[in-house]
Structure 1
Amino acid sequence: MGNLARNLQQQQQERHNEVQKQHRSEKKNAFWLSPGEKVLGLAFAGMVCFGAIHIISNQADIYKVNKQIQEVQSSIKEQQKVNSDLNVQVSELSTYERILTKAKKMGLVLNENNVKVVQ
Structure 2
Amino acid sequence: MGNLARKLQQEQEQRQVQKQIQLPETGKKNRFGLSPGEKILGVAFCAALCFGATHIISNQAAIYEINKDIQVTSTLIQSQQKVNADLGMQVEELSTYERIWEKAKALGLKLNENNVKVVQDQ
Shorter-chain TM-score bucket reads 0.7 to 0.9
Q: Which residue of 1 aligns with 2:77?
A: 76
Spell out structure 1 runs of 4+ moving beyond 2 A. none
- 2:60 maps to amino acid: Q
**Equivalent pairs: percent with the same residue?**
62
| 2:64 pairs with 1:63 | yes
Q: Which residue of 2 aligns with 1:46?
A: 47
Deviation of 1:117 after TM superposition, in Å, equals 2.5
Cα deviation 1:72-98 (Å, max 9, x = unaligned): 100000000000000110010011100
Q: Determine the C-alpha separation between the residues in 2 that align with 1:78 and 1:116.
A: 42
- 2:97 maps to amino acid: Y
| 2:29 pairs with 1:30 | yes
Cα deviation 1:45-90 (Å, max 9, x = unaligned): 0000000000000000000000000011000000000000001100
Q: Determine the C-alpha separation between the residues in 2 that align with 1:54 and 1:73.
A: 28
Most deviating of 108-117 and 58-67: 108-117
Alignment RMSD: 2.4
Q: Which has the higher helix share?
A: 1
Q: Which residue of 1 aligns with 2:110?
A: 109
- TM-score, normalising length: structure 1: 0.76
- TM-score, normalising length: structure 2: 0.74
Ranges in structure 2 where 5+ consecutive residues have no aligned partner: 1-13
- 1:51 maps to amino acid: G
Deviation of 1:112 after TM superposition, in Å, equals 1.5
